């Protein structure tokens, strides 16, 4: 039984690779309750992230996870893979923004988890155990989501740097001061090179670009932005710019938004891995990725959520080219080895699914994997839920 | 085997009530690593919360959980009961501020959980499952804690209201705007009455008092405080005051800090229950608690973390008085019934331990409790860890 929302997972998690039945939750689209006084919403799993945001916006609230797929990905899917997005750096990922769930497990047992309140310390935390479990432990049939007040203002900023080392230093400095940005996005030299080649975008010089956003009440924006600008003053900063209005903010975002389509324009195939490293290891990650790219002859483009050290490493190649087709999986393997050597982890917001399954035994110690398999047996004794995903055979 | 930190739990969780061995972690007091660039600290479980804060403060960071016991409670204990405190309303509780753990489970197996990064979606979330599990699933022997940048400024405010309904409306309005306060503490008429009786404190009139704090970078404080003041303008507001300096802030906090000692002064025995209700149900909770107090002839005082709906209901009585001694447990039972009827939960930050065990079967559906017992068997097959706590016999 493979539960499926809108099928936007990038890891094959919702593909019924072992056969069996697909359980589509696509038509469970009811928003059951929005309670702004108590800051929660109860929804069915098929509600699209974007549809919930549209329902919440007029009430002055939002749900934090904002994956790029928000307009067409379901909340059930967002919960299953612990989805994030640019805002995660300030507001947390799916796991941080759920109060309770109603679940049907692998034995057909129906049970609720969690509570309606923003605090709770009553028994074991089944809620967060289910979030990010990619449909292996149970099917989420209802979720009580934590709502946050929608900031009434925001400002976008852009900083370009001579090298990635300088950008990483700025990221650490930004994250060490009390005005946590609502987005801290990174693009490397390869991403900037592609954008310059395909688009007439106004891009500053430099080998690394940060997009930084602050949000909040309107009268806090100037001082927040000033603090961010101060934190970005590192050796190697080439250019810093604050958007003066929403239109200019849109222009600054344009480069980031153009990236994914440009990648598809540039190469017939991309493999996007959402690896995470400690922020201080960002330069080592980017340098290492360039070395892997050179070694295997596969082009690479890096961008992502720098405040969390969550980088989308995109390998770009032509599967019709036999050499590249053979080299791509080797490059991916080398990337994961590199990430683990830097104290990083395989995924920040996409999950494991099918694609990263071969690397789990290297990433997670054997004893910890055994506990995960034990949990699988508890919630799904017959092993019928999303078989062949996430957990390698012992 | 009952793991024990500094034994400050209020629920009997660290009392070896079933006999056996106490495993003291009191001398595992090493701070193993503080990494500010990557915003984490690795600690042994016996490190005192307050000692870690002292080590972090000069570096400009803090760990979010701030229970009143911080100077003498251990981080292992804070993790075991998912400790919170006033700051939880803005920065989250223990569960929200841990990246990874090293655990020895009931079968003597040693395994790590989690990662060093602020994002991760790699297999099941064992980390948050262990946090708040009160020593029933494993013994935490090392923790990787998420650090946050220490705000450089803060301001305290005080608002008094005619009735608790008006205060609750102000709480909902404060929590619906984007300047989340770093503390939003509540005191009811009974608490204010006791303070007026025993102390020469400068207290405004009214039946409900809120203490509100904002923190952040210095140049955001004025605008944040203005937004809070605006949100407090409800019908029934009697008095609003901003502390003009740190000394005046201390004076405003004095009433809150005097409360617990005053309770001990006033009655030989108190039972403090840290129940939680949705914010909109705060007035119904307080009114209901007064009715319980009248019915059972037990004095009651309410205060706590209003932004989370987390109220410390304190029953005050004399155990030498046979009537009161007999009535107190009945009053507690009536309180939990009331809380559950208001969509609330038994504990926000203290946990279940021994004291709330008799109420678990009412609070948690049978099927959910069964899953918790299943988890207990996975991690502690012989049932040797903290027996007789949290989970009622089936």
For residue A101, give both structure tokens: 């769930």
Check: CB of residue B63 under 8 Å from CB of residue B38: no
Per-residue pLDDT of chain A (394 residues; tens, 9 = 90+): 999 999 999 999 999 999 999 999 999 999 999 999 999 999 999 999 999 999 999 999 999 999 999 999 999 999 999 999 999 999 999 999 999 999 999 999 999 999 999 999 999 999 999 999 999 999 999 999 999 999 999 999 999 999 999 999 999 999 999 899 999 999 999 999 999 999 888 899 999 999 999 999 888 899 999 999 999 999 999 999 999 898 989 888 888 888 888 998 899 999 999 999 999 999 999 999 999 999 999 999 999 999 999 999 999 999 999 999 999 999 999 999 999 999 999 999 999 999 999 999 999 999 999 999 999 999 999 999 999 999 998 8
- How far apart CA B374 and CA A107 sit, in angstroms, is 13
- How far apart CA A65 and CA A78 sit, in angstroms, is 8
* Chain A contact set for B371 (CB, 8 A): 105, 109, 111, 126, 378-379
- How far apart CA A238 and CA A210 sit, in angstroms, is 11
Q: What are φ and ψ of residue A233, in 5° steps?
A: -75, 80
For residue A136, give both structure tokens: 């292996």
- Closest-CA residue to A332 (of A88, A11, A9, A85): A11
- How far apart CA A205 and CA A202 sit, in angstroms, is 10
Check: CB of residue A40 under 8 Å from CB of residue B277: no
pLDDT reported for residue A255: 86
> Do the chains contact at A96 and B96, CB–CB below 8 Å?
yes
Q: What is the β-pairing status of strands B31-35 and A237-242?
A: unpaired
Check: CB of residue A160 under 8 Å from CB of residue A185: no
In Å, how far is A274's CA from the nearest CA of chain B?
Answer: 10
Please, what is the Cα angle at A119 between B378 and B76, to 5 degrees? 55
pLDDT reported for residue B116: 96
Query: What is the b/e burial string over B344-380, where b = at least 16 CB atoms within 10 angstroms of the residue's CB?
Result: bbbbbbbbbbbbbbebbeebbeeebbebbebbbebbb
**A284 membership: H or E segment, kind and range:** helix A282-296
- How far apart CA B306 and CA B308 sit, in angstroms, is 5
B51 pLDDT higher than 90 = yes
Neighbours of A20 (CB within 10 A): 14
Tokens 């479990």, residue located: A133
For residue A37, give both structure tokens: 């006084």
Give start and end residues of each alpha helix (H) in B267-387. Answer: 282-296, 322-341, 360-363, 366-379
Q: Of the candidates B122, B215, B364, which has its C-beta nearest A364's C-beta?
A: B122
A129, A132, A311, B314, B362 from A101: Cα distances, Å:
11, 13, 30, 31, 18
> Do the chains contact at A280 and B350, CB–CB below 8 Å?
no
- How far apart CA B232 and CA B306 sit, in angstroms, is 14
Q: What is the β-pairing status of strands A183-188 and A299-305?
A: antiparallel
Residues constituting chain A: 394
B201 pLDDT higher than 90 = no
> Do the chains contact at A120 and B371, CB–CB below 8 Å?
no
B230 pLDDT higher than 90 = yes
A269, A324, A329 from A293: Cα distances, Å:
15, 11, 12
In Å, how far is A204's CA from the nearest CA of chain B?
Answer: 27
Tell me the pLDDT band of B275, cut-offs 50, 70 and 90.
very high
pLDDT reported for residue A202: 85
List Cβ neighbours of B336 (8 Å cut-off, separation of 6 or more): B273, B275, B346, B356, B359, B362, B363
Check: CB of residue B344 under 8 Å from CB of residue B309: yes
Q: B139 forms bridges with which residues in the sheet?
A: B104
List Cβ neighbours of A264 (8 Å cut-off, separation of 6 or more): A270
A38, A139, B318 from A51: Cα distances, Å:
20, 21, 56
For residue B57, give both structure tokens: 């403060």
- How far apart CA A61 and CA A58 sit, in angstroms, is 8
Task: Give me the interface pTM, i.e. the ipTM.
Answer: 0.96
> Do the chains contact at B178 and A215, CB–CB below 8 Å?
yes
Neighbours of B197 (CB within 10 A): 10
Tokens 């989690």, residue located: B114
pLDDT reported for residue B148: 97
- How far apart CA B95 and CA B73 sit, in angstroms, is 16
> Do the chains contact at B137 and A124, CB–CB below 8 Å?
yes
**B141 membership: H or E segment, kind and range:** strand B138-146
Q: B315 forms bridges with which residues in the sheet?
A: B271, B300
Interface check for A258 against chain B (CB to CB < 8 A): the answer is no
- How far apart CA A212 and CA A252 sit, in angstroms, is 10
Check: CB of residue B113 under 8 Å from CB of residue B127: yes
- How far apart CA B280 and CA A340 sit, in angstroms, is 46
Q: A345 forms bridges with which residues in the sheet?
A: A276
pLDDT reported for residue B254: 87
Question: What Rg do the C-alpha atoms of chain B give, in angstroms?
Answer: 21
Report helix, strand and coil shares of chain B as percent, to nearest 5: 40, 25, 40
Chain CA centroid to CA B286, Å? 18
Which B residues in the span 86-105 are in contact with A, Cβ-Cβ below 8 Å?
A: 88-89, 92-93, 95-96, 105
Q: Is B125 left (phi over 0), alpha (psi -120 to 50) or beta?
A: beta
* Chain A contact set for B305 (CB, 8 A): 119
Question: Strand (E) positions, chain A?
Answer: 2-4, 22-24, 31-35, 40-43, 61-62, 98-105, 110-114, 138-146, 148-149, 153-161, 183-188, 208-216, 237-242, 269-276, 299-305, 310-317
List Cβ neighbours of B135 (8 Å cut-off, separation of 6 or more): B2, B3, B13, B14, B80, B385, B386, B389
B16 pLDDT higher than 90 = yes
A308-317, B6-15, B251-260: which has the minimum mean pLDDT? B251-260
* Chain B contact set for A278 (CB, 8 A): 35, 37-38, 40, 116-117
Q: Of the candidates B39, B308, B346, which has its C-beta nearest A118's C-beta?
A: B308
Tokens 């939750």, residue located: A25
pLDDT reported for residue A200: 85
- Closest-CA residue to B88 (of B211, B203, B181, B218): B181
Tell me the pLDDT band of B46, cut-offs 50, 70 and 90.
very high
A323-327, A380-384, B242-246, B315-319: which has the minimum mean pLDDT? B242-246
> Do the chains contact at A279 and B81, CB–CB below 8 Å?
no
* Chain A contact set for B111 (CB, 8 A): 365, 367-368, 370-371
**Tens of pLDDT along A337-392?**
999 999 999 999 999 999 999 999 999 999 999 999 999 999 999 999 999 999 99
B1 pLDDT higher than 90 = yes
Check: CB of residue A182 under 8 Å from CB of residue A151: yes
**Gap between the terminal Cα atoms of chain B:** 21
pLDDT reported for residue B320: 96
């Amino acid at each position: 039984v493979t539960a499926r929302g809108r099928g936007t997972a990038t890891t094959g998690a919702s593909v019924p690779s072992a056969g069996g039945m697909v359980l589509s939750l696509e038509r469970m689209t009811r928003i059951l309750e929005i309670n702004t006084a108590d800051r929660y919403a109860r929804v069915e799993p098929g509600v699209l992230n974007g549809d919930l945001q549209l329902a919440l916006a007029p009430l002055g609230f939002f749900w934090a996870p904002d994956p790029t797929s928000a307009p067409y990905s379901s909340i059930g899917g967002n919960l299953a893979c612990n989805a994030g997005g640019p805002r995660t750096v300030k507001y947390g990922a799916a796991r941080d923004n759920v109060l309770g769930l109603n679940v049907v497990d692998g034995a057909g047992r129906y049970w609720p988890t969690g509570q309606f309140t923003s605090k709770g310390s009553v028994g074991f935390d089944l809620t967060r155990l289910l979030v990010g479990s990619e449909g292996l432990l149970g099917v989420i049939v209802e979720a009580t989501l934590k709502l946050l007040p929608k900031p009434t203002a925001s400002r976008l900023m852009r900083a370009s740097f001579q090298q990635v080392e300088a950008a990483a230093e700025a990221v650490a400095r930004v994250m060490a001061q009390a005005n946590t940005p609502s987005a801290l996005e990174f693009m490397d030299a390869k991403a900037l090179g592609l954008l310059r080649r395909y688009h007439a975008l106004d891009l500053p010089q430099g080998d690394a670009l940060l997009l930084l956003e602050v949000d909040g009440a309107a009268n806090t924006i100037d001082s927040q932005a000033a603090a961010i600008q101060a934190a970005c003053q590192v050796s190697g900063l080439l250019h810093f710019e604050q958007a003066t209005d929403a239109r200019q903010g849109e222009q600054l975002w344009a480069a980031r938004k153009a990236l994914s389509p440009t990648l598809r324009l540039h190469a017939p195939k991309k493999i996007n891995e959402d690896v995470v490293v400690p922020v201080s290891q960002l330069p080592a990650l980017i340098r290492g990725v360039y070395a892997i790219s050179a070694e295997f002859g596969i082009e690479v483009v890096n961008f992502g959520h720098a405040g969390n050290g969550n980088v989308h490493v995109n390998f770009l190649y032509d599967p019709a080219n036999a050499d590249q087709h053979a080299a791509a999986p080797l490059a991916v393997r080398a990337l994961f080895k590199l990430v683990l050597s830097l104290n990083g982890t395989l995924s920040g917001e996409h999950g494991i699914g099918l694609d990263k399954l071969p690397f789990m035994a290297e990433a997670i110690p054997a004893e910890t994997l055994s506990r995960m398999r034990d949990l699988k047996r508890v919630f799904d004794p017959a092993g019928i839920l999303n078989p062949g995903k996430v957990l390698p055979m012992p």
